[in-house]
């Protein structure tokens, strides 16, 4: 156990608990590598029947990655650390998606960015009253990553484009509808559920504790989302929204106007490429890495972090305006990386 994460075996479960609630359980590089090492150890451990990942604190399961070091290194002109961070984190995400044992995530409060990567690829994803899942990366000059682009591509209708570009938060019902979660269990029942999972090692006990979630908003908005987000490009979506005088269109335009146009345009293109039965987690992570590899040097990431986290002025100066994004910009950010392409094989010493 460290101050940030507690990894141990209890009963039939391999347990991972994030323990830095004052930082909203933000995922550091060392935490990610500790999770990966534990999963590797437990893969062939017959005493471990399932993985149970949770977090302490009421506000967040994990509100994202710990980006201070990414920002500092990038501002110093060192892009290698960020590229290694993302590559190693993505390898962990792929391992979770393909893990041979049940992987149960208890997700309270904020679940964003890196938090999505260590929970929403699991086989059993549990929400509660406070759950708020989102992929808000376009607001800091990134794209929905950690494999989140694949979940967005598999969401009903054009919901993926809407969630990926606006960063809209999903409560329990919305998250289940969009494919980011599986079940709703009232948080008062979590201690009982946790005890049952540890004792039995059987994830089917989740169903015995589950209940219908409170109704969300996304199902009611599906027709408007599909109508406005059905275009091939960001420009198509903006034109559709501007031609509509509805509250939905106006509110959505306000959300989009805050985010990086380059990030949003790339997000839409990525989701379109990943839509269909041939796409898998490896393809999604590889496509995401094309963007994140270039994000500091060629994208809006450092400016997005400055405006949101460092100076907190909420006034980012993006490289491109909503209506002045060159047609070639998306292709440049998503072109293959050649010898620098993401590999999901083990790379640690």
**What pLDDT does 3 receive?**
84
Rounded to whole angstroms, the Cα distance separating 341 from 293 reads 9
> How much is the pLDDT for 346?
58
- Residue 189 and residue 161: Cα distance in Å, rounded? 34
Measured over all CA atoms, what is the biggest interatomic distance in the chain, rounded to whole angstroms? 60
> Which positions are catalytic?
65, 114, 137, 145
Q: Contact 244/228 with Cβ under 8 angstroms? A: yes
Which residues are CB-neighbours of 178 under 8 A, at least 6 positions away? 151, 152, 155, 156, 159, 160, 163, 170, 218
Provide the β-strand partners of residue 183: 126
Average pLDDT by stretches of 10, the chain with 349 residues: 88 98 94 97 98 97 88 92 96 98 98 97 98 97 98 98 98 98 98 98 97 96 97 97 97 97 98 93 98 96 95 95 94 98 71
pLDDT value, residue 348:
46
DSSP of 276-323: STT--HHHHHHHHHHHHHHHHHHSSHHHHHIIIIIS-------SS-TT
Helical ranges in the chain per DSSP H = 29-42, 68-75, 80-97, 114-117, 148-154, 159-166, 172-178, 190-200, 205-209, 218-228, 234-242, 247-258, 261-274, 281-298, 301-305, 328-334
Q: How many residues are present in the chain?
A: 349
What confidence tens digit (pLDDT) does each residue in 65-114 have? 888 888 999 999 999 999 999 999 999 999 999 999 999 999 999 999 99
Between CA 265 and CA 141 the distance in angstroms is 11
Tell me the pTM: 0.96
Contact in structure between 261 and 320 (CB atoms under 8 Å): yes
State the number of CA atoms in the 13 A half-sphere of 72 facing the CB. 4
pLDDT of residue 2: 64
pLDDT of 74 reads: 93
- In this predicted model, what pLDDT tens digit does every residue of 17-31 receive, in sequence order? 999 999 999 999 999
């Amino acid at each position: 156990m460290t101050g940030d994460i507690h990894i141990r075996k209890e009963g039939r479960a391999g347990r991972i608990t994030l323990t830095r609630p004052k930082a909203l359980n933000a995922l550091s590089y060392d935490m990610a590598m500790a999770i990966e090492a534990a999963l590797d150890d437990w893969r062939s451990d017959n005493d471990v029947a399932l993985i149970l990942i949770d977090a302490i604190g009421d506000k967040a399961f994990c509100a994202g990655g710990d980006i201070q070091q990414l920002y500092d290194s990038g501002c110093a002109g060192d892009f290698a650390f960020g590229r290694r961070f993302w590559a190693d984190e993505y390898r962990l995400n792929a391992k979770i998606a393909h893990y041979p044992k049940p992987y149960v995530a208890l997700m309270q409060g904020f679940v964003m960015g890196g938090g999505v990567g260590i929970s929403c690829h699991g086989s059993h994803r549990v929400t509660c009253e406070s759950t708020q899942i989102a992929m808000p990366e376009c607001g800091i000059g990134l794209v929905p990553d950690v494999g989140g682009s694949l979940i967005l591509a598999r969401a009903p209708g054009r919901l993926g484009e809407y969630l990926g570009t606006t960063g809209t938060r999903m409560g329990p019902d919305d998250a289940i509808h969009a494919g980011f979660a599986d079940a709703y269990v009232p948080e008062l029942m979590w201690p009982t559920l946790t005890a049952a999972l540890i004792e039995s090692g059987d994830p089917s006990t989740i169903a015995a504790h589950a209940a219908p979630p409170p109704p969300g908003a996304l199902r009611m908005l599906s027709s408007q989302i599909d109508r406005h987000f059905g275009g091939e490009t960001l420009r198509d979506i903006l034109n559709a929204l501007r031609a509509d005088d509805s509250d939905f269109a106006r509110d959505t335009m306000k959300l989009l106007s805050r985010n990086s146009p380059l990030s949003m345009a790339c997000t839409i293109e990525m989701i379109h490429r990943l839509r269909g039965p041939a796409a898998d987690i490896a393809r999604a992570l590889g496509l995401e890495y094309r963007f994140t590899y270039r994000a500091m040097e060629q994208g809006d990431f450092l400016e997005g972090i400055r405006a949101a986290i460092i100076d907190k002025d909420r006034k980012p100066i993006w490289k491109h305006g909503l209506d002045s994004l060159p047609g070639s910009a998306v292709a440049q950010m998503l072109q293959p990386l050649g010898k620098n392409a993401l590999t999901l094989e083990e790379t640690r010493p």
